[in-house]
Amino acid sequence: MNFYSLNQQAPTVSFKDAVIQGIAPDRGLYFPEHITPLPTSFFENIEDLSNHEIAFLAIRQFVGDEIPEAKLKEIIAEVLDFDFPVVELDENVATLELFHGPTLAFKDVGARFMARCLGEFSAKETNEVTVLVATSGDTGGAVANGFLGVRGVKVVILYPSGKVSDIQEKQLTTLGKNIGALEVDGTFDDCQRMVKTAFLDEELLHKMQLTSANSINVARWLPQLFYFLFAYKQVKSKGKEIVFSIPSGNFGNICAGIMAQKLGMPCHHFIAATNVNNIVPNFMKTGKYEPKPSIATISNAMDVGDPSNFIRIRHLYQDDFETLSKNISSYSFTDEQTKEAMVEIYNDCSYVADPHGAVGYLGLKKYQENHPNTYGIFLETAHPVKFLDIVEDTIRENIDLPEKIAKIMDKKKKATSISSYEELKKYLLSN
């Protein structure tokens, strides 16, 4: 399968090159040339398929023959070695738990899939690939874990000193091997600026193959469509109209859901739920896309002021505002409303939601006010323990540390402190 740049000013490339480059030379996002729906028999018989079979049949067309079938199956089996349960909370409300992976974040699947694709491609190259990422918390842990031990790939993660949670810092700094952590004296924006500078540094690019691991990369974005198919398989027998509510930041996850629908998955509507970073809800009201600086919230993985994947969603609807509005609703919620929702979910359903999941719940409830007969699934994108302080303060209960987390809390942190781009460059060139 070939991929073209949405900016239309760069040549089309293979899946392999799209994965290695991340973004096109004209700074456009890559998009598949064709999307061929799966046969109706796939959806009719989906309950007879394993998750591995579903994933393979869904992603194969995008990968093409650039990874041999047997290898692709092996990658899928490694990536999807945990569950994706739909938990029903009420008659027409359920949550899809995406936090059972190694770092308890939904980004585990995309990060692991991308890591293995890149490992497969770079195994045939003589040059090592260096993955450079800035993280405000969750992405870094998932990427570090996903790439751990992948041959031919080195990972360098920049995080703002003192601004990630203890759990998140441990997840970034205790792995060792091919994963290097740089503790930056500055903010997340400083980290991101340094990464961007590196990607434009000709001297550096001449000496090493640099790539990024954010959701712009097709190998991180596309495998997220599995979630929606796994959910569909679990709730299909209810025979109701299914709607998904997705807590959204960069809009990669929801865009993958719409891809699943394009593949033929019967699904009635999508809800893009955001915190006060309301660029898309505003767009759905006014038709104007106006990026803004991001605002800090308690659902901080969604603090995005210019969601990079929204352009892919617009493209999926040929940028036709009317069809887009028929298929997607978007609502924004404050931290106050998010906390109230966490309490409501806990009191009414005995379920502990994290702040991101709670935003998804709010979006679903709002939509169902006018569409009461739909079966709604909101996505739980992180384990509540990752936002321990907020969750415990809000629902006034203690929650237990899962074993996966308890284990790493005793490990020793290893990070290199830096405070300028020059120090980053020196680190990259000397390691």
Ligand X SMILES: *Cc1c(COP(=O)(O)O)cnc(C)c1O
**Residues with catalytic function:** 107
Residue 248 engages ligand X in binding (rule: CB under 6 A): yes
Q: Which of 194, 382, 390, 424 binds ligand X (CB under 6 A)?
A: 382
- Give min distance, CB of 341 to ligand X, in A: 15
Residue 356 engages ligand X in binding (rule: CB under 6 A): yes
Q: Which of 135, 253, 261, 275 binds ligand X (CB under 6 A)?
A: 253
116 SS3 class: helix
- Give min distance, CB of 381 to ligand X, in A: 3
Partners of 184 in beta bridges: 160, 418
Q: Which of 101, 223, 249, 384 binds ligand X (CB under 6 A)?
A: 249
Per-residue contact flags (x/-) with ligand X for residues 101 to 140, judged by CB under 6 A? ----x-x------------------------------x--
| Contact (Cβ atoms closer than 8 angstroms) between residue 38 and residue 263 | yes
Per-residue contact flags (x/-) with ligand X for residues 314 to 353, judged by CB under 6 A? ----------------------------------------
Contacts of 63 (CB under 8 A, 6+ apart): 1, 15, 72, 117
Token pair belonging to 76: 């899928």
- Give min distance, CB of 332 to ligand X, in A: 14
Q: Which stretch binds ligand X (CB under 6 A): 34-42, 164-172, 249-257, 277-285?
A: 249-257
Q: Which of 5, 178, 250, 294 binds ligand X (CB under 6 A)?
A: 250
Strand 93-97 versus strand 86-90 pairing type: antiparallel
- Give min distance, CB of 168 to ligand X, in A: 11
Token pair belonging to 80: 């999807």
DSSP 8-state symbol, 373: T
DSSP for 259-323 reads HHHHTT----EEEEEESS--HHHHHHHHS----------SSGGG--SS-TTHHHHHHHTTT-HHH
Q: Which of 179, 219, 302, 328 binds ligand X (CB under 6 A)?
A: 302
| Interface size with ligand X, residues (CB under 6 A) | 16
Q: Which of 146, 247, 281, 363 binds ligand X (CB under 6 A)?
A: 247
Token pair belonging to 366: 């709002």
Q: Which stretch binds ligand X (CB under 6 A): 145-153, 184-192, 201-209, 242-250?
A: 242-250
Residue 252 engages ligand X in binding (rule: CB under 6 A): yes
- Give min distance, CB of 144 to ligand X, in A: 14
Residue 378 engages ligand X in binding (rule: CB under 6 A): no
| Contact (Cβ atoms closer than 8 angstroms) between residue 214 and residue 301 | no
Residue closer to ligand X, measured from CB, 59 or 382: 382
Tokens 């995309």 found at: 110
Q: Which stretch binds ligand X (CB under 6 A): 63-71, 247-255, 285-293, 361-369?
A: 247-255
Comparing CA positions, the residue from 78, 191, 81, 77 lying closest to residue 140 is 191
Q: Which stretch binds ligand X (CB under 6 A): 57-65, 165-173, 246-254, 395-403?
A: 246-254
Q: Which stretch binds ligand X (CB under 6 A): 14-22, 112-120, 181-189, 244-252?
A: 244-252
d(CA 163, CA 140): 13
Task: Catalogue the E-assigned strands of 122-249.
Answer: 129-134, 153-160, 179-184, 209-211, 242-247
Token pair belonging to 92: 């027409």
DSSP 8-state symbol, 175: -
- Integer CA distances (angstroms), 225 to 61, 156, 217, 219, in order: 13, 27, 14, 11
- Give min distance, CB of 71 to ligand X, in A: 27
Residue 381 engages ligand X in binding (rule: CB under 6 A): yes
Residue 215 engages ligand X in binding (rule: CB under 6 A): yes
- Integer CA distances (angstroms), 239 to 92, 234, 374, in order: 12, 11, 10
Q: Which stretch binds ligand X (CB under 6 A): 198-206, 248-256, 365-373, 407-415?
A: 248-256
Residue 168 engages ligand X in binding (rule: CB under 6 A): no
- Integer CA distances (angstroms), 285 to 269, 275, 289, 331, 412, in order: 17, 16, 10, 10, 49
Residue closer to ligand X, measured from CB, 122 or 224: 224
Residue closer to ligand X, measured from CB, 182 or 359: 359
Which residues here bind ligand X, judged by CB under 6 A?
A: 105, 107, 138, 215, 247-253, 301-302, 356, 381-382
